[in-house]
């Protein structure tokens, strides 16, 4: 490696450290527990044409990979002639951002000597955007909340008080939402200042040469990784619960020397409810699947994302278009990763895991006083929860781990601090893992109730209750999920219902599928599974066989 290449690599590493600080600034300044506790965010730096140069490791694929395409929309909609020093822009448009209204994307231009050299952008999930709230019940995006087109949050250093006022008067938790937007802007500002320090230190006027170096190196590494999958066509199908009827997801992957294309023709039609997925979100989780399978250590940027493309006919659930309802697009969108991994499993038998629980089991509720009073206003509550991940070809699956979203769990204490709620139980769910030579990850049991004379208006958005995670190569399926009240009353898995003040809601999250013939499991590992309650019963023959 030449001295110049070493110099470029040092600056590349410096860029990554800058976007990591950008993301941590957002975590530290966030009002919402989903950001500061779970890391449901993304952060990155872009060149002047809107191509992502580097992203923070902190973040989710659904945010990062959609944000990678979002900055181009900001440039187009604002117009290059209206992009000025001191500006900050924002939107929550599902088709120009991350796929639903609850994510705010903020973009900040960077200037050196009055010359535009790039942008910082980030995204975070906010606790409320008005409308019906975070749930699948709406029939159009108009019902789902306030839709903010790409606008100036700050115009040449001046806060847009009119926009602030509009947002405050259209959301239930105005202090939290507006506070989070200020946190997003502050996060970008941290990145901008650190970048200017870096450019000054290295005597640079722009990012052009560095971006070219990063893209060239990344593109070469990506194409080398793609060679692990032989050119050809690979297909897979997956059944998931949907809202009121089973949804079938279908993919055909076309692998060529130039990249991988996913076509979702054959997938179930759009739902009447808000589980539909804008194709940019489906692309985000397809791209993530390919990169974690083929090049998990590769930096994420424009060049690593470019070889992966998608298509779908209009009218299918993975290609929602305005004004289709999309509020909980993650419920179906998160399954795209396992769907696409399953397609290439025959080509990578020693890499691809069994299916996992997939979609997050988000707890979204409005805590409302049984006897309303000004002293007891409604409180919006949000907590992310995860079931078990699928077993890997050489390792057990991870328990209560969010794959593919990657969000962190929210502690009971942090959630209870937000409002009148008690988390009575949060524990590993016994016998929920799929059996196998390597067993799946376990789900968890969570029991939640309101306190202080409140009840919960709860938005259910759960899946893998009727269609559990499938094992691979002879492994068993994971346990399906269950939802009920503490007196045994069944509770719906989709839609808004009330949890009475005297009752608690019990969530039994699904487990991950197992990998390989259970008879080939190490006897000591199997004995421990039974002793710990990870599996329901011993194998008929726990001795390993050929």
pLDDT at 495 exceeding the cut of 50: yes
0.85 surpassed by pTM: yes
Burial of 114 (0-12, 13-18, 19+ CB in 10 A): exposed
Distance CA 527, CA 375 (A): 55
Residue corresponding to tokens 């899946």:
463
> How does pLDDT run across 406-445, given as a tens digit for each residue?
888 888 898 888 889 999 999 999 999 999 999 999 999 9
Which run of H or of E encompasses 199? helix 174-201
Rounded average pLDDT over 250-256: 98
269 has pLDDT over 80: yes
Q: How far apart are CA 229 and CA 102, in angstroms?
A: 37
CA distance 138 to 459: 12
| pLDDT value, residue 268 | 98
What SS3 class is residue 128? coil
Percent helix, strand, coil in the chain (nearest 5)?
30, 25, 45
Q: Is the pLDDT of residue 542 over 50?
A: no
Q: Tell me: pLDDT of 86 over 50.
A: yes
Q: Are 300 and 196 in contact (CB under 8 A)?
A: no
Q: What is the per-residue pLDDT across 379-389, written as a single tens digit (0 to 9) for each?
A: 888 889 999 99
Q: What is the mean pLDDT of residues 332-342?
A: 98
pLDDT band for position 247 (cuts 50, 70, 90): very high
Nearest to 463 by CA among 400, 507, 411: 507
Q: Write out the two tokens for 139.
A: 């029939």
Average pLDDT estimate for 219-234? 96
pLDDT, average across residues 467-489: 97
At residue 540, the pLDDT reads 65
pLDDT score of 535: 83
List beta partners, residue 120.
45, 108
Distance CA 307, CA 258 (A): 7
pLDDT class for 545, splitting at 50, 70, 90?
very low
Q: For 11-47, how does the pLDDT look when each residue is reduced to its tens digit (9 = 90+)?
A: 999 999 999 999 999 999 998 888 888 888 899 999 9
pLDDT at 546 exceeding the cut of 70: no
Sheet holding 379-383, edge to edge: 379-383, 363-369, 454-461, 494-499
pLDDT at 137: 94
Lowest mean pLDDT among 37-41, 183-187, 344-348: 37-41
Residue 381: phi and psi, rounded to 5, are: -125, 140
Mean of pLDDT values over 161-181: 96
Give the three-state DSSP class for 167.
helix
Average confidence (pLDDT) over 485-494:
95
Q: How many CB atoms lie within 10 A of CB 116?
A: 16
Calpha distance 8→186 (Å, rounded): 28
**What average pLDDT score do residues 221-226 get?**
96
Task: Note the pLDDT of residue 11.
Answer: 94
Average pLDDT score over residue span 349-365: 94
d(CA 83, CA 289): 35
pLDDT at 72: 96
Q: How far is CA 359 from CA 64, 276, 465, in A?
A: 17, 14, 11
Residue 400 has pLDDT above 60, yes or no: yes
Residue range 140-153, pLDDT digits in tens: 999 999 999 999 99
Q: Which DSSP symbol is given to 86?
A: T
Q: In the structure, what pLDDT confidence band is assigned to residue 521 with cuts at 50, 70 and 90?
A: very high
pLDDT > 90 fraction of the chain, expressed in percent and rounded: 83
pLDDT top residue among 82 and 418: 82
Exposure of 520 in the CB half-sphere (CA atoms within 13 A): 14
CA-CA distance, 226 to 243, in Å (whole number)? 36
Nearest by Cα to 324 from 247, 269, 361: 269
Considering the chain, what percentage of its residues have pLDDT values greater than 70?
Answer: 98
Does the pLDDT value for residue 95 go beyond 80?
Answer: yes
Is 536's pLDDT higher than 80? no
CA angle at 387 for the pair 382 and 390, rounded to the nearest 5°: 145
State how far the Cα of 417 lies from the Cα of 173, in Å rounded to an integer.
15
Mean pLDDT, all residues of the chain: 94
Task: Count the residues in the chain.
Answer: 546
Q: How large is the average pLDDT for residues 134-138?
A: 93
DSSP, residue by residue, 426-492: EEEPTT-SPPSSBPPPP-EEEEEEE-TTEEEEEEEE--SSSSPPPPBTTPPPPPPPEEEETTS-B--
Confidence of residue 541 (pLDDT cuts 50, 70, 90): low
């Amino acid at each position: 490696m030449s001295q110049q290449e070493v110099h470029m690599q040092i600056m590349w590493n410096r860029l990554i450290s800058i976007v990591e600080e950008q993301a941590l600034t957002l975590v530290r300044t966030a009002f919402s527990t989903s950001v500061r506790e779970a890391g449901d965010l993304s952060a990155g730096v872009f060149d002047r044409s809107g191509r992502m140069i580097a992203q923070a490791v902190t973040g989710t694929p659904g945010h990062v990979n959609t944000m990678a395409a979002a900055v181009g929309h900001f440039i187009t909609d604002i117009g290059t002639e209206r992009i000025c020093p001191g500006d900050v822009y924002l939107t929550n448009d599902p088709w120009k951002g991350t796929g639903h209204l609850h994510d705010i994307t903020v973009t900040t231009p960077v200037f050196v000597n009055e010359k535009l050299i790039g942008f910082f952008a980030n995204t975070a999930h906010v606790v409320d955007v008005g409308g019906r709230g975070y749930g699948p019940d709406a029939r159009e995006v108009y019902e789902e909340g306030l839709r903010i087109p790409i606008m100036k949050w700050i115009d040449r250093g001046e806060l847009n008080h009119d926009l602030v006022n509009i947002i405050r008067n259209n959301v239930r938790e105005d202090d939290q939402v507006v506070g989070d937007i200020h946190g997003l802007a502050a996060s970008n500002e941290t990145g901008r200042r650190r970048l200017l320090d870096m450019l000054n230190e290295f005597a640079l006027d722009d990012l052009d040469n560095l971006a070219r170096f990063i893209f060239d190196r990344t593109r070469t590494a990506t194409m080398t990784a793609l060679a692990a999958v032989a050119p050809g066509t690979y297909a897979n199908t997956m059944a998931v619960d949907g809202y009121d009827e089973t949804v079938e997801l279908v993919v055909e992957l076309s692998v060529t020397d130039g990249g991988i294309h996913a076509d979702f023709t054959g997938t179930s039609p759009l739902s009447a409810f808000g589980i539909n997925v804008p194709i940019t979100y489906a692309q985000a989780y397809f791209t993530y699947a390919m990169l974690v399978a083929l090049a998990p250590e590769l930096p994420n940027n424009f060049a690593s994302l470019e070889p992966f493309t998608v298509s779908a006919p209009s009218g299918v659930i993975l290609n929602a278009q305005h004004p289709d309802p999309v509020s909980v697009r993650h419920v179906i969108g998160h399954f795209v990763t396992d769907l696409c991994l399953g397609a290439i499993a025959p080509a990578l038998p020693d890499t691809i895991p069994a299916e996992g629980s997939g979609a997050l089991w988000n707890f979204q509720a409005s805590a409302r006083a049984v006897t309303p009073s000004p002293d007891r206003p409604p409180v919006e509550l949000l907590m992310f929860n995860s079931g078990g991940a699928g077993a890997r070809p050489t390792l057990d699956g991870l328990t209560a781990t969010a794959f593919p979203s990657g969000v962190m769990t929210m502690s009971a204490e942090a959630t209870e601090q937000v409002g009148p709620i008690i988390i009575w139980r949060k524990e590993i769910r016994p016998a929920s893992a799929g059996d196998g030579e390597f067993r799946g990850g376990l789900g968890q049991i969570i029991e939640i109730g309101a306190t202080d004379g409140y009840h919960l208006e709860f938005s259910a958005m759960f899946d893998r209750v009727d269609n559990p995670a499938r094992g691979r190569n002879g492994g068993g399926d994971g346990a399906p999920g269950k939802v009920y009240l503490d007196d045994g009353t069944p509770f719906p898995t989709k839609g808004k219902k009330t949890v009475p003040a005297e009752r608690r809601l019990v969530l039994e999250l699904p487990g991950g599928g197992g990998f390989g013939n259970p008879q080939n499991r190490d006897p000591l590992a199997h004995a421990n599974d039974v002793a710990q309650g990870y599996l329901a019963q011993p194998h008929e023959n726990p001795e390993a066989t050929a």
